Structure 1
Amino acid sequence: MKTNRVIAAVIAGILVATPVRAEMKSGDFMNPITDVAWQEIFPIKIGGISMFGGSNYDTDDPADFPICICPAPPPMFIKVGISMSFWEPARLIETVATPYYFPNMGFGISMGGTEGFLSGKNQEMNNASNEQSSFAQAHYMIFAVWSMLGLLVDFVCVEQSGFDIAYLTELDPLWQDDELAFIIQPEALLFANQYAQMACMSDSASVNTYSPLDPLFWCIGNNSAYPMTGHVGDENLIQANATIAARMIFKLAREMLICDTGIDLCGCQPTPIWQKSHYKMHAARPTVRQIAYPVGKSQFFYGSNLNPSFKGPKGPGDEFLWVLFRKRACCAFSYTMMDSIPIDDLSGGLP
């Protein structure tokens, strides 16, 4: 928890100490009622039985058996409950070409002229090639929408938190430099070849039918999960930004700053190699899409008029906001003192 407080204090200090840029693009705060694809919380599985369906995507989870047993502190030692799983709209990810701009809140901050160095854009990868790349910064935000709306606040499987800016890549040198990022991704050397990338064709075909291939963890559809930076070799701005948002998940998982809530009924598990099928996203800015897709799905299915060249009713173009749904599995309807410890990203420790 101390780590979380230190990060929050640093970010709050930056926001207070730096002036808001008057020339910055405008936007409006995301409406948690109308801008979230609520049907994506389904299916809900209770006691190994799917009680409610309706979503276009689901994945395997440990809630296949009706009864769950988890460790508990003495003198109880164990707790017995009913297995449950659902999809939780828990986080927001902004991918922005304008550094320190927050489309979800509609303002940006000035950092003394350093924004140009951090700006995102489409550019040629080298002078001898017509290939294009894209670059963007990313902001990872805690968005415990159930708690924010005051719903299910007594339910042990729902995160009790609020809204917070948890991570800014503008402050992370590893996000800006592909070579420097090698520090946290040495295995990238194994996948920097045409054979490994050709395997991503399989993931691309499979994810477009709602079946992402977890064994191909280095693939995000046709794009690569490496390097874990904001540089993507894709000139399609929508696809590139969706890939950048997915890389943000993988990067934070690699750095042990987030954990996977869909693996173990008894607690959140660290995943330095992510299980990408446990995440899905939908766009909420520049325009809202009311359907979520597994990471890596082609923008062909959702990108039409998503990023208009003019300023739309929900804010400017080229700045994206993604609602992140994560698979949530838990041992419900039982309570011990251990349940009072929140499963919260960036908390400095896991339950």
Structure 2
Amino acid sequence: MVRPWLIAMLLFAIFVVGEVGAPAPAEAVCPTTTLIIDSLVRTCWECMFPLSVFGVTLTSFGEDMHLPAIGPGLAALPPQLCGCVCILPGVCIPGIPLGIWEPKNLVEVVRTPFCFPTLTGYTAGSAFAFTSRGVATSQQDEGVEANYHFYHVHYFAFPLWAIVGLALDIGCLNYTGMYDDLDLLYLTEVDPLWRDDILATFFYPEAFLINNPISQAACAADALAAAVTFPIDALWWCSGSWGSLYPVSGNISGSAGGDLKPAALSMARVLNRLARVGMELWTSANGPLICHDYPTFQIVKGQYKFELMYPIPNIPPNCCSPIGRTLFRWGLGKQVPAIGEDYVFLLWKLQRCCML
């Protein structure tokens, strides 16, 4: 189901924005996948771990755990109870803090505008001439050309546990009033900020603060942390070894080869974009904040990990990785030239809740 506001934005872009890029060439092909049908088979269910109860990790199945805590549900706090259902003010029913990773979203990163591999390769074709695509070149000083990548990103709600009914067995995972099936939430084709670095920078002025060598050098620590465990949330402008989350646009400098890294960075920038406008919530809050999910208007990188589903799925023991992890641990041999340069990721989120 496509949201009405997305249709309104699309019509606005067609009639108001006009042509600001080149249409996809005729030879561009949108890949066809059966991800929805095969999701139960393709998904690495080990990614739901580590599992914690009372703030203590029960099992991890080899999945990475947060530091300095011993697992999800523990933030340097001792074993604890929680209370989210209150009979009277200050009188609440004791519950058990639970921390678990939940498959929540599908993220398509594609070269061709309005190409939806998840929807069996559906595409709107070349009718929309205002969008850009693929790898392009820009003229630099002294006639030197520089390549940069440009992908479009589609962000779907995909609550897999709710779809298969598993969420009913975990009492505190409440989908009432939320998305309980596949739903398109956001696409970059109708977002003018995604194509314009200058516009994106002025819309998110904090980019001026971190546009200096010292701030960018700090991202080395984030890359090291992501390679071993999870990225550093305090370095909110970094995306580990992938690059910078700013500007929040789709233009990523780099060579014409090696498309997976800029594709992953495009996914991370969209998460940052959605967090900045309050569409992504803080689901991993602990202690007194465990009862609700809150908008932080800043990305919480440590609550995400992803699994590559297409073109070549990740397999154990490297199924899921956090934002910014080096491709040497999860991305080698995952690109198929010509026919496998579009990507689909399954996004897992750390959900902490109070189970009665």
**Bucket of the pairwise TM-score, normalised by the shorter protein:** 0.7 to 0.9
The alpha-carbon deviation at position 187 of structure 1 amounts to 0.6
Match of 1:251 in 2: 273
Aligned AA for 1:261?
A: T
Q: Which whole-Å CA distance do the structure 2 matches of 1:184 and 1:72 have between them?
A: 41
The alpha-carbon deviation at position 181 of structure 1 amounts to 1.1
User: Contact 2:147–2:254 (CA<8 Å) still a contact in 1?
Assistant: yes
Choose which of 275, 280, 299 in structure 2 pairs with 1:274: 299
Q: Which whole-Å CA distance do the structure 2 matches of 1:207 and 1:29 have between them?
A: 31
Say if 2:179 is the partner of 1:144: no
Q: Under a length normalisation based on structure 1, what TM-score does the superposition of the two structures give?
A: 0.82
When the two chains are superposed, the root-mean-square deviation of aligned CA atoms in Å is 2.8
User: Contact 1:46–1:66 (CA<8 Å) still a contact in 2?
Assistant: no
User: Contact 1:93–1:324 (CA<8 Å) still a contact in 2?
Assistant: yes
Aligned AA for 2:157?
A: I
The alpha-carbon deviation at position 22 of structure 1 amounts to 11
Match of 1:166 in 2: 185
Q: Secondary structure at the match of 1:146?
A: helix
Q: Under a length normalisation based on structure 2, what TM-score does the superposition of the two structures give?
A: 0.81
User: Contact 1:41–1:86 (CA<8 Å) still a contact in 2?
Assistant: yes
Aligned AA for 1:325?
A: W
Match of 1:345 in 2: none
Q: Which whole-Å CA distance do the structure 1 matches of 2:88 and 2:117 have between them?
A: 47
- Sort the Cα spacing of 1:132 and 1:74 in 2 relative to 1 into closer, same or farther, 3 A: farther
Which has a greater percent of helix? 2
Aligned AA for 2:182?
A: F
- Sort the Cα spacing of 1:10 and 1:164 in 2 relative to 1 into closer, same or farther, 3 A: farther
- Sort the Cα spacing of 1:186 and 1:34 in 2 relative to 1 into closer, same or farther, 3 A: same
Match of 1:213 in 2: 232
Q: Which whole-Å CA distance do the structure 2 matches of 1:130 and 1:202 have between them?
A: 31
Q: Which whole-Å CA distance do the structure 2 matches of 1:116 and 1:103 have between them?
A: 21
- Sort the Cα spacing of 1:127 and 1:302 in 2 relative to 1 into closer, same or farther, 3 A: farther
Match of 1:240 in 2: 262
Match of 2:171 in 1: 156
Choose which of 81, 84, 92 in structure 2 pairs with 1:70: 84
- Sort the Cα spacing of 1:12 and 1:154 in 2 relative to 1 into closer, same or farther, 3 A: farther
Match of 1:322 in 2: 345
Aligned AA for 2:111?
A: A
Match of 2:50 in 1: 43
1:1-351 superposed matches below 5 A: 6-7=4-5, 24-30=29-35, 31-59=38-66, 60=69, 61-63=72-74, 65-70=79-84, 72=86, 78-110=92-124, 113-115=127-129, 117-124=131-138, 126=140, 128=142, 129=144, 131-160=146-175, 161-222=180-241, 223-235=243-255, 236-263=258-285, 264-290=289-315, 291-311=319-339, 317-333=340-356
Higher deviation after alignment, 55-64 or 292-301: 55-64
| Structure 2 alignment gaps of length 5 or more | 13-25
Match of 1:349 in 2: none
The alpha-carbon deviation at position 111 of structure 1 amounts to 6.1
Q: Which whole-Å CA distance do the structure 2 matches of 1:188 and 1:37 have between them?
A: 36
Q: Which whole-Å CA distance do the structure 1 matches of 2:330 and 2:216 have between them?
A: 24
Q: Which whole-Å CA distance do the structure 1 matches of 2:124 and 2:106 have between them?
A: 22
The alpha-carbon deviation at position 92 of structure 1 amounts to 1.0
Q: Which whole-Å CA distance do the structure 2 matches of 1:177 and 1:307 have between them?
A: 27
The alpha-carbon deviation at position 73 of structure 1 amounts to 8.0
- Sort the Cα spacing of 1:198 and 1:56 in 2 relative to 1 into closer, same or farther, 3 A: same
Q: CA deviation digits over 1:107-142, x for unaligned, max 9?
A: 233366334732122534735445432110111100
Q: Which whole-Å CA distance do the structure 2 matches of 1:310 and 1:112 have between them?
A: 19
Aligned AA for 2:327?
A: Q
| Structure 1 alignment gaps of length 5 or more | 15-20, 312-316, 334-351
Q: CA deviation digits over 1:129-167, x for unaligned, max 9?
A: 454321101111001000111223253333531111110
User: Contact 1:101–1:107 (CA<8 Å) still a contact in 2?
Assistant: yes
Aligned AA for 1:151?
A: L
Q: Which whole-Å CA distance do the structure 2 matches of 1:320 and 1:241 have between them?
A: 7
Q: Which whole-Å CA distance do the structure 1 matches of 2:204 and 2:281 have between them?
A: 18
User: Contact 1:91–1:144 (CA<8 Å) still a contact in 2?
Assistant: yes
